[in-house]
């Protein structure tokens, strides 16, 4: 079951590690064995010493690590590597596993961790202290506060980069029992969680909805608000609330470890966009609630030379009023990259019409950035449509910044190529200021 583990590291531990035909494993129905395994994994892989109370949740390491790594990837998209990063862990639990993992992985991160349970607070403080991280992890008792995001209150001069949360999944202990009974072969492991860790009024969807409601008040005081979810059915409910409030900058991901699946959602009130690899998943059931794509592959037919494609692209872009074009070094022979920053929307049909009428002012003042994307001219296999593949020179648009309505999906339409015979080795583009076929 754990074939990646070194048997020599574990066979001397006195918690019933034994060999099977597929490698070393433990009795996952034993709460003691689960705790010892978690403690051993954290110590051997992350140099984290952990003490877990017998009457509180024993957190499986892989899913927790996956969540931390996802948040880490989100932060890297907008924070330079040398900057200090501040986060909030809502309901840190007795282990304080999220702050401990995050601060071990990232030496410049600091985290405020909250909880309402006295037993968990005592244990969390102990775990932070024995790992020498008291200067970077602060444990706060929230039992007397009605606000979930209380650490954001009164700290207007200290912005946070992210929040994390692994809320109780269930609305009642009856729901916990029903979930266990619904599993065809029974649970794979014993549950060690206390009721306060597993149950919250309305369940996880209600809890995350409360976080979102509070985040409306705090806005960009925190860059990204995130939460793990234990039920796929919670995602449509939460996305529905985001869309009701016209929040289109959000992300969904899925964590899979063995037979266990978890999901996570993140949202931001800013305009910096995440790549599709972080914000979208391929699950067909959930496609209707996925956020807008931020990357687009554009096939260019009958073009044999990447240089011709690149030079023509630069020419067309520089002819568009209100945008700034900056070639970027790619370091790769078969890649050419252009950074495009727009301070005016001049490529859409509606704006061109308004330019004809002198009484209509510009929609956006000059100087303010309203859209930013990176365009890569590259060679090789690429998708065309949902299922087809093509090969050869093509454009890849990556939306970096801007509101949804002016995203790269609309901006790229002026770059539709005009076909030429293959022998001409020539490509031309529709004039974005004159064509009547644009958006």
pLDDT in tens, 328-375: 887 666 678 899 998 877 666 555 555 544 443 333 444 578 889 999
Q: Is the dihedral of CA 227, 233, 234, 237 positive or negative?
A: positive
Rounded to 5 degrees, what angle do the CA atoms 139, 108, 165 make? 45
- Give the least confident one: 33-42, 140-149, 213-222, 227-236: 33-42
pLDDT confidence band for 181 (50 / 70 / 90): low
Which of 150-159, 234-243, 335-344, 404-413 ranks highest by mean pLDDT?
Answer: 234-243
Classify the phi-psi angles of 203: left when phi > 0, otherwise alpha if psi is within -120 to 50, otherwise beta: left
Chain-centroid distance, C-alpha 223: 12
Neighbouring C-beta atoms of residue 352, cutoff 10 Å? 18
Report the pLDDT value the prediction gives residue 379, as an integer from 0 to 100. 83
- Whether the CB-CB separation of 238 and 208 falls below 8 Å is answered with yes
- Whether the CB-CB separation of 274 and 294 falls below 8 Å is answered with yes
For the chain, give the mean pLDDT: 81
Q: pLDDT digits over 57-90, tens only?
A: 889 899 999 999 999 999 999 998 889 999 999 9
- Give the least confident one: 46-55, 125-134, 397-406: 397-406
DSSP-assigned letters across all residues of 186-239: --SS-----HHHHB-TTHHHHHHHHHHHHHHHHGGGEEEEEEEES-TTHHHHHH
Gap between the Cα atoms of 386 and 314, Å rounded: 28
- Whether the CB-CB separation of 438 and 323 falls below 8 Å is answered with no
Q: Of 272, 270, 269, 402, nearest to 345 (Cα)?
A: 402
Q: Is the dihedral of CA 140, 141, 142, 144 positive or negative?
A: negative
Gap between the Cα atoms of 267 and 165, Å rounded: 13
CATH 3.40.50.150 fits 48-289, yes or no: yes
Tell me the three state secondary structure of residue 382: strand
Gap between the Cα atoms of 172 and 178, Å rounded: 10
DSSP state of 170: B
Q: Of 249, 255, 210, 213, nearest to 232 (Cα)?
A: 255
- Whether the CB-CB separation of 138 and 121 falls below 8 Å is answered with no
Give the pLDDT mean for 250-273: 95
Does residue 9 have a pLDDT over 70?
A: no
Report the pLDDT value the prediction gives residue 3, as an integer from 0 to 100. 37
pLDDT confidence band for 109 (50 / 70 / 90): very high
Gap between the Cα atoms of 153 and 140, Å rounded: 13
Q: Of 347, 366, 357, nearest to 405 (Cα)?
A: 347
> Where are the chain's structural domains?
1-47, 48-289, 295-429
Helix, strand, coil fractions of the chain, as percent rounded to 5: 35, 25, 40
């Amino acid at each position: 079951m754990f074939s990646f583990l070194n048997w020599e590291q574990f066979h001397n531990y006195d918690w019933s590690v034994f060999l099977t035909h597929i490698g070393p494993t433990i009795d996952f129905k034993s709460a003691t064995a689960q705790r010892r395994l978690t403690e051993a994994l954290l110590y051997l892989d992350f140099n984290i010493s952990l003490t877990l109370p017998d009457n509180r949740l024993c957190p499986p390491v892989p899913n927790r690590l996956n969540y931390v790594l996802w948040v880490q990837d989100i932060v890297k998209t907008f924070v330079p590597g040398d900057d200090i990063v501040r986060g909030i862990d809502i309901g840190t639990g007795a282990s304080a596993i999220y702050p401990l993992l995050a601060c071990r992985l990232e030496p410049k991160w600091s985290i405020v961790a909250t909880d309402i349970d006295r037993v968990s607070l005592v244990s969390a403080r102990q775990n932070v202290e024995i790992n020498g991280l008291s200067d970077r992890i602060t444990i706060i008792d929230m039992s007397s506060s009605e606000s979930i995001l209380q650490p954001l209150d009164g700290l207007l001069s200290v912005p946070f980069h992210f929040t994390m949360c692994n809320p109780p999944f269930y609305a009642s202990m009856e729901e916990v029992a029903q979930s266990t009974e619904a599993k065809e072969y029974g649970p794979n492991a014993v549950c060690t969680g206390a009721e306060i860790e597993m149950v919250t009024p309305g369940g996880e969807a209600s809890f995350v909805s409360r976080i979102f409601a509070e985040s409306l008040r705090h806005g960009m005081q925190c860059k990204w608000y995130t939460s793990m979810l234990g039920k796929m059915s919670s995602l449509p409910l939460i996305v529905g609330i985001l869309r009701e409030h016209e929040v289109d900058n959000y992300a969904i991901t899925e964590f899979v470890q063995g037979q266990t699946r978890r999901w996570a959602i993140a949202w931001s009130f800013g305009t910096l966009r995440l790549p599709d690899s972080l914000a979208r998943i391929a699950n067909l059931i959930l496609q209707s609630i996925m956020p807008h794509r931020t990357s687009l592959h554009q096939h260019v037919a009958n073009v044999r030379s990447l240089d011709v494609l690149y030079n023509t692209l630069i020419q067309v872009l520089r002819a568009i009023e209100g945008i700034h074009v900056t070639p970027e070094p790619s370091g790769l022979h078969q890649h050419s990259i252009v950074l495009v920053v727009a301070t005016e929307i001049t490529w859409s049909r509606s704006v061109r019409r308004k330019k004809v009428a002198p009484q209509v002012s510009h929609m956006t003042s000059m100087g303010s950035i309203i859209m930013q994307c990176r365009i890569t001219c590259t060679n090789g296999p690429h998708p065309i449509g949902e299922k087809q593949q093509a090969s050869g020179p093509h454009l890849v648009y990556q939306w970096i910044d801007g509101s949804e309505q002016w995203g790269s999906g609309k901006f790229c339409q002026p770059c539709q190529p005009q076909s030429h015979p293959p022998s001409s080795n020539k490509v031309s583009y529709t004039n974005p200021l004159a064509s009547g076929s644009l958006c």
